[in-house]
Structure 1
């Protein structure tokens, strides 16, 4: 009871018991035993706070090492607090978690593109431009201009706007369509009429499985469609209410407002349109929940979500262009204006959830093109071409695993210009299938590709992954049939 008395006396919220630090606190006190004196006011306010700050600094330093090794995403979020201050907070995401970096009060400055660029660049330099793979900002015109300028100044940084905000803007544009505005107004009249009369809401709450109707939100565009779906789910309850004897005999049916609401509830066209709109926006609502969650990285789901939303809408209207075009046009305009970046298509291509789904994987040329463009942009940003020139004079046998670790890529000595001759496929077959090369019966002979971890080659050396990429790209670019098409599948590991 002492535990509860402390919480109730200090008015501490009960959800504090869910803190991950509570049980370690209890264990530490129990280990010491009776007579333990807790830290006083000064120690909690000064000494312990100083130690906590050092621990947080050590945590941030450990995060910075991960940023340098695997890269990170820098996020800039602008918002206005209750005191009407214009604030911009910066956060960094990496596989280990999200780290808050800085909060800037921009109330006393003009937030034009140049000013925002200076703010963004200051944080980027503190992190290290080469450690930033992706920069995300708001969808404001100045934010987008500053993001593009930062990306141009530091080629290693790829900029894109906030996916959550962009999808919200798509929903906003759809909600402003004339027929949806009309539906929302009628649905709002039903909700207000019910919640303004306690007798009606009390009757509905006695219904089995009743859940409260979601109210329309003033700022979040998604709540408009959430409320429409909620009302549609209560169709049978509302129709049962207006046809119930006690309601028919009540004074509510005699007022003009009551008659208007009864006509709406008994209008089958109203419910059909509500159901249709709920199905139209459901793919976008699902994508919004994915990108707005903190459970896992979501950049690999944006391209598929927008691509799938358009296809779902077309399928819903049975590919009748006159019906689906107003919705897909809005999605396409917002997609091209805010979210159509190579990094989204590249992340989609590398996402195992879609990559190995042959039935639904998007085979558009822009996906592979965006993937290759992203790789090229990152390569040029880190001067990989210059690195290759350092090893230009080294001659390597492609199957000499012992020498592969000594270079960054395949080398061609072009100091002496030679006449380009026609490709001899017989010589190429002998090179590929000859002694010391990949065996023709790869399924029957153990090789590097059959190793359990895929990390060891001949002589126990690691194989440069760029060898795999070179072969795959070469095969992908081969337009005409050739003997290379007979190479057995060896299951490349990306």
Structure 2
């Protein structure tokens, strides 16, 4: 190849137009050459030409960016290997606590030692348990001041097992109460009523103002029975489920149905 230093940079940086690209130049080298060419063009159009200090800064910035990319790749490989070896479901990486692990490690820097199995299963687990006890304790303290709403929700697990969950709402806080596995159990009105009645008894009836469920017929009938037995509380359906059913009925109206179609 013939020409000055600029043509050499274009050759190595794969800047086509005047020279043929170098087939042996790596991506990193090509990027460095392009940065130098760009810096030279900027310097040529200003009163302050590119100095050796500017070039060193450009090289340093590229090195930092390249190091960040390599570090991210290294972290990705290390974390993936941990997931693969321990057969951890890949969707666990979508958990909000996953990125917090990376962030906390990044604050400390290189050389941080991870917690041992004993620390995870004992020390840190005990700390988390104490935190939850305090959190629930603060909510339970409000039970004597604020009334409670008992929420009953029926759904299916990923393995298609039917479950009924009970949650307690109090002063803008929701806490889990219990779950009932209904596999091989017929969810009759009497069965659901019995479950609701038992949970109300545990939560303490005098502080329960309402029981909220979906609008499924057995849930509705069980709620009606509960109100007959316990005169100080009310049953009401989920607002979202009610709106969904209302929209379905509205969609059946002839002119609405024709418009939607």
TM-score tier after normalising by the smaller chain length: 0.5 to 0.7
Structure 1, unaligned stretches of length 5 or more? 186-494
In 2, the alpha carbon distance for the partners of 1:15 and 1:105 equals 25
Q: What is the CA-CA distance between 1:173 and the residue it aligns to?
A: 0.9
Greater strand content:
2
In 2, the alpha carbon distance for the partners of 1:35 and 1:18 equals 20
Equivalent positions of 1:455-474 (< 5 A) are none
Q: Kindly indicate whether residue 202 of structure 2 is the aligned counterpart of residue 133 of structure 1.
A: no
Q: Kindly indicate whether residue 172 of structure 2 is the aligned counterpart of residue 103 of structure 1.
A: no
Give 3-state SS (helix, strand or coil) of 1:126's partner: helix
Structure 1 segments of 4 or more deviating over 4 A?
A: 1-5, 21-27, 33-36
In 1, the alpha carbon distance for the partners of 2:78 and 2:260 equals 47
2:229: which partner in 1? 153
Q: Which structure is larger by alpha-carbon Rg, 1 or 2? A: 2
Q: For the Cα contact (< 8 Å) 2:212–2:237, is it kept in 1?
A: yes
Equivalent positions of 1:84-95 (< 5 A) are 84-95=160-171
Deviation string 1:398-435 (CA, Å, 9 cap, x unpaired) is xxxxxxxxxxxxxxxxxxxxxxxxxxxxxxxxxxxxxx
Q: Kindly indicate whether residue 145 of structure 2 is the aligned counterpart of residue 69 of structure 1.
A: yes
Give the number of equivalent residue pairs.
181
Q: Kindly indicate whether residue 195 of structure 2 is the aligned counterpart of residue 119 of structure 1.
A: yes
2:75: which partner in 1? 6
Give 3-state SS (helix, strand or coil) of 2:215's partner: coil
Equivalent positions of 1:25-424 (< 5 A) are 25=104, 30=108, 36-185=112-261
Q: What is the CA-CA distance between 1:143 and the residue it aligns to?
A: 0.9
Q: What is the CA-CA distance between 1:95 and the residue it aligns to?
A: 1.9
Q: What is the CA-CA distance between 1:140 and the residue it aligns to?
A: 1.6
Deviation string 1:58-100 (CA, Å, 9 cap, x unpaired) is 3222211212211121110111233222111111112242112
In 2, the alpha carbon distance for the partners of 1:34 and 1:7 equals 16
Q: What is the CA-CA distance between 1:134 and the residue it aligns to?
A: 1.8
Structure 2, unaligned stretches of length 5 or more? 1-67, 81-91
Cα–Cα, structure 1 residues 54 and 83, in superposed 2: closer, same or farther, change >3 Å? same
Deviation string 1:421-457 (CA, Å, 9 cap, x unpaired) is xxxxxxxxxxxxxxxxxxxxxxxxxxxxxxxxxxxxx
Cα–Cα, structure 1 residues 107 and 48, in superposed 2: closer, same or farther, change >3 Å? same
Q: What is the CA-CA distance between 1:18 and the residue it aligns to?
A: 9.1
Give 3-state SS (helix, strand or coil) of 1:68's partner: coil
TM-score normalized by the length of structure 2 = 0.58
In 2, the alpha carbon distance for the partners of 1:5 and 1:163 equals 48
Q: What is the CA-CA distance between 1:36 and the residue it aligns to?
A: 4.6
